[in-house]
Structure 1
Amino acid sequence: MAKDLLWPLLAAAFMAAAAAAAESMPVPAATALGTRANGSGSSYARFFSFGDSQIDTGNFIRYSADPGPVSRLPYGETFFHRPTGRWSDGRLVVDFIAERLGFPYWPPYLAGKTAEDFRYGANFAVTSATALSQTFFKEKGLDVDGITPYSLGAQIEWLKKVLDTLGSTNHERREIMASSLFLVGEMGANDYNHPFTQNRTLDFVLPLVPLVIRSIGHSLEALIQLGAKTLYVPGIFPLGCIPRYLFQFRDSGAGAHDPATGCLRWLDDLAVHHNALLKAELAALRRAHRGVSIVYVDYYGEILGIVTSPAEYGFGVRTVLDVCCGGGGPHNANLTVVGCTLPGFVLCPDPSRYVCWDGLHNTEAVNEIMARGMLDGPFATPPIMPAGRWTE
């Protein structure tokens, strides 16, 4: 998502080495689904993912000269015990999915060079990525310094390069696509985040929604034309529950907050609108491509359920909308001056009791719940592994 502060080139070099070490961790034990010839315990040969910082496992730090706070502890402290380019205290949704599939923590696209590097697939997600292009936002008058050029469309182009590495004929490449699992998103949140952080209003953002959905639909169509048969497409989170926004719009008038959750109603309504249009787009794609499984993933429902009943999930009731690693102030979310890792930041004693890690991104504890909802249900129908059971 946002790239707020600059750090020296030395940090980028350090992070590349640290992430490479994380990606060389051993393959988890195979599940009980049977072992394929590639050595995994999955019914899928490969796993490909597209998105933004919610699932970026290291692409951003490989191209950015100023990787920012993600290049320092406490990022990565819970699982990897060092920063790896993941915007969390530990693992991301894609890490838990890869574990369950019996795959290693496969490399981000920019860390791979050979066919062997992409043996289990690749992660194309990039921090601050949008569904619409960087050029689009520049033409709209936004400062694009914090908006990556690697939008969803650019990530699809990266996939084509990987396919050329893996298969020498069109038939081989289509076979690879047909036997792979695809996670596309969530996408779209940054298309709204970037304008809001540049003081644009809802009147500016709302007309973007159908354009964002159309862009996502075009990218899904491109994947299907390349041969993809199994695609999981998450909606966006309840934006009104994001601590950064709760701080930014803390002076909202009476009635702006939902009394049941404490979240900002108008931002949640924006997310609901986006998700409704996305579901309609996916339904149209299903009608056009009867042999393709296109599954909506209800990230909104997952997060709202946690916020509404935090104790049931093991989270603190009083801190459910607070930031674990933040800049103080209301919700520990004053990120305008102090962000996670900067002098004066405030770190919670136990990230597993918090939903939000740094004001924008989830803790590992929430990422695990989200992955479980996708792998075993009920937030994806059918789930990725309908016959499986979550293994603690």
Structure 2
Amino acid sequence: MATKPLLVLPLLLVAAFLLAAAASASVPAPATTSYSPATRFGGGCYTHFFSFGDSLIDTGNFIHYSTAPGPVARSPYGETFFHRPTGRWSDGRLIVDFIVERLGFPSWPPYLDGKSKEDFRYGANFAVASGTALNQLLFKKKHLNVGGITPYSLGVQVGWLKKVLAMLGSTEQERREIMASSLFLVGEIGANDYNHPFFQNRTLGFVGPLVPRVIRSIELSLEALINLGAKTLYVPGIFPLGCVPRYLFLFRNSTAGDYDPATGCLRWLNDLTVHHNNLLKAKIAELRHAHPGVSIVYVDCYDEVISIVSAPASNGFAPATALDACCGGGGLHNANFTVHCTEPGAVQCPDPSRYVSWDGLHMTEAVYRIMARGILDGPFAMPPIMSGCKKY
């Protein structure tokens, strides 16, 4: 039976154990399908869109390399929009899908689904389910089972970008121009660096010291992108892991004082999240000072999700099930993770649009739509993506 980690650190938990996906799919093209090579998409603002992260962002990379993609390769994943599994750990579209639709790009593949320069004409998604900021070797040295941890960490994903960049630009000047005119979404990343240890019964005393190392890894990747010429970077923090149904199930024997009365979420897990996000914001401030010509914007996923959980009805969600999984293995919060969403015995809700959590770890398309709006138009990214558009 799960017990709460013993150490009291004002730190917080992590989410998104990713083992995911399904028949890969790029974002569908808009209705107009005839494009001139000279046409500028991205709302007249960006020539390319590149993203990095984990299963909250992955649109098909995991299933391209995994020999056992797991339950999300099957229905009901993808049912809301794609009507089939696509490699997205949700019932439908993710945050990046809404961003791509808003920018108007006719195609935007997961990196492992692309093969040619033309495939990456408008950018690529490098995010991989179960992805971490720290590399797999570090977890192995700490005696964790790395079977569920992808080798494609954030640093590897940045290496993939360099390969794509070499395809897109034949000279250093061309490559720097591409970087300068592109939009970068670096994350969400970091949740799995804590998630993997917690799901292997490590305590907060093990996980807490990882936080500065995770932030340092994100910083190094941001610096690498800036050194390559990136000028517009959005960097999401992690969402409130104390509100994640599977963690509420895992630590179901917690005392009443461990829960926030306003939300029902676990305080100590949300403290860990806040600690990570505060260090990330401080690091972004340092990078802004060091690179005054670069726009580095923090994306506040924490407050965005807290606002939804705190007032579900006003956001279109059912208050009684704001902390429940739409599709799960039954039990408290429908979050018994010994039974996966696609397996016999799973309990599925009739209307995912009324739920915050899709499968107990990842969120529904309805939530991702709200989160995408927060980064595209504000107020959870300032300036928002669409506000500072300029033609290059």
Match of 1:253 in 2: 255
Gaps in structure 2 of 5+ consecutive residues: 1-15
Contact kept? 1:238, 1:271, Cα under 8 Å? yes
Contact kept? 1:3, 1:68, Cα under 8 Å? no
Match of 1:2 in 2: 17
CA RMSD of the aligned region, Å? 1.7
Contact kept? 1:36, 1:43, Cα under 8 Å? no
Structure 1 position 253, deviation (Å): 2.0
Match of 2:176 in 1: 174
Give the AA of the match of 1:380: A
Give the AA of the match of 1:27: P
Residues of 2 paired with 1:239 and 1:89: CA distance? 20
Deviation per residue, 1:312-363 (Å, 9 max, x gap): 100000000000010000000001x201101111100000000000011010
- Quote the sequence identity (%): 72
Structure 1 position 2, deviation (Å): 2.6
Answering whether residue 232 of structure 2 is matched by residue 230 of structure 1, we say yes
Residues of 2 paired with 1:56 and 1:380: CA distance? 21
Match of 1:96 in 2: 98
Contact kept? 1:52, 1:185, Cα under 8 Å? yes
2:75 to 69, 73, 76: 73
Match of 1:365 in 2: 366
Structure 1 position 40, deviation (Å): 5.2
Deviation per residue, 1:34-86 (Å, 9 max, x gap): x9724553310000000000010000000000000111010000000000000
1:26 to 21, 26, 29: 29
Residues of 1 paired with 2:291 and 2:107: CA distance? 31
- With over 3 angstroms needed to count, the CA separation of the structure-2 counterparts of 1:126 and 1:222, relative to structure 1, is same
Structure 1 position 252, deviation (Å): 1.0
Contact kept? 1:99, 1:105, Cα under 8 Å? no
Match of 1:196 in 2: 198
- With over 3 angstroms needed to count, the CA separation of the structure-2 counterparts of 1:4 and 1:121, relative to structure 1, is closer
- With over 3 angstroms needed to count, the CA separation of the structure-2 counterparts of 1:278 and 1:62, relative to structure 1, is same
SS at match of 1:91: coil
Contact kept? 2:107, 2:122, Cα under 8 Å? no
Answering whether residue 347 of structure 2 is matched by residue 346 of structure 1, we say yes
Answering whether residue 373 of structure 2 is matched by residue 385 of structure 1, we say no
Structure 1 position 380, deviation (Å): 0.4
Deviation per residue, 1:356-378 (Å, 9 max, x gap): 00011010000000000000000
Residues of 2 paired with 1:210 and 1:328: CA distance? 36
Q: How does 1:104-183 map to 2 (within 5 A)?
A: 104-183=106-185
The higher-RCO structure (CA 8 Å, 6+ apart) is 2
Contact kept? 1:28, 1:104, Cα under 8 Å? no
Instruction: Give the TM-score of the pair, scaled to structure 1.
Output: 0.92
Match of 1:8 in 2: none
SS at match of 1:296: strand
- With over 3 angstroms needed to count, the CA separation of the structure-2 counterparts of 1:115 and 1:271, relative to structure 1, is same
1:290 to 292, 302, 323: 292
Instruction: Give the TM-score of the pair, scaled to structure 2.
Output: 0.92
- With over 3 angstroms needed to count, the CA separation of the structure-2 counterparts of 1:36 and 1:320, relative to structure 1, is farther
Gaps in structure 1 of 5+ consecutive residues: 6-11
Contact kept? 1:23, 1:104, Cα under 8 Å? no
Residues of 2 paired with 1:107 and 1:216: CA distance? 23
Q: How does 1:275-314 map to 2 (within 5 A)?
A: 275-314=277-316
Match of 1:242 in 2: 244
Structure 1 position 310, deviation (Å): 0.5
Residues of 2 paired with 1:161 and 1:387: CA distance? 28
Structure 1 position 25, deviation (Å): 2.7
Contact kept? 2:41, 2:47, Cα under 8 Å? no
SS at match of 2:305: helix
SS at match of 1:96: helix
SS at match of 1:177: helix
Structure 1 position 106, deviation (Å): 1.0
Match of 1:9 in 2: none
- With over 3 angstroms needed to count, the CA separation of the structure-2 counterparts of 1:28 and 1:156, relative to structure 1, is farther
Residues of 1 paired with 2:41 and 2:189: CA distance? 31
Contact kept? 1:28, 1:102, Cα under 8 Å? no
